[in-house]
Structure 1
Amino acid sequence: YHPLARPDQAVVRGQDAQGKPIAVGGTGYFARCLQHETDHLNGYLYIDRLSKRERKDVLRQMADSTPRYETVPNE
């Protein structure tokens, strides 16, 4: 975990299943979710937004930690 500053409001624009324009906006935690998921659509991960030093610290924490959940293979 590492804190990441993000704007408190966000609006995402796209198309619905019929190709009509759509916009979804929110504030607070929902705005963070919109930004996080939009990052994934654009090929970014959470750690990509951190400074080099912060990223190194987070990656070290990930390597040192015990998994919280049992890993289930995709079969």
Structure 2
Amino acid sequence: MSSTLWWSEALIVIGRLGIPMALAHWVGEGLTTVFSFPVGLDVRRELTIGNCVSADGRSCPRPVPPRRKQSAEGGERSE
């Protein structure tokens, strides 16, 4: 019964334009939009006022490699 409801067709109509899709597809599209929108806003913020702004305009800082410490024997070891 629930699979019948899940795959039943839902239609959104605005004026003469209508978009028919299964309810499962509407839910999937809605969740994708809800979760992707904040990510897009964060990327926009980083490129305009965040850490990814530099003199050339699009240069993000590169990750710093892990530091190596000197061991008691005098050789290098990584953490």
TM-score by length of 1: 0.28
State the structure with more CA Rg: 2
Higher-strand-fraction structure:
2
**Which structure carries more relative contact order (alpha carbon 8 Å, separation 6+)?**
1
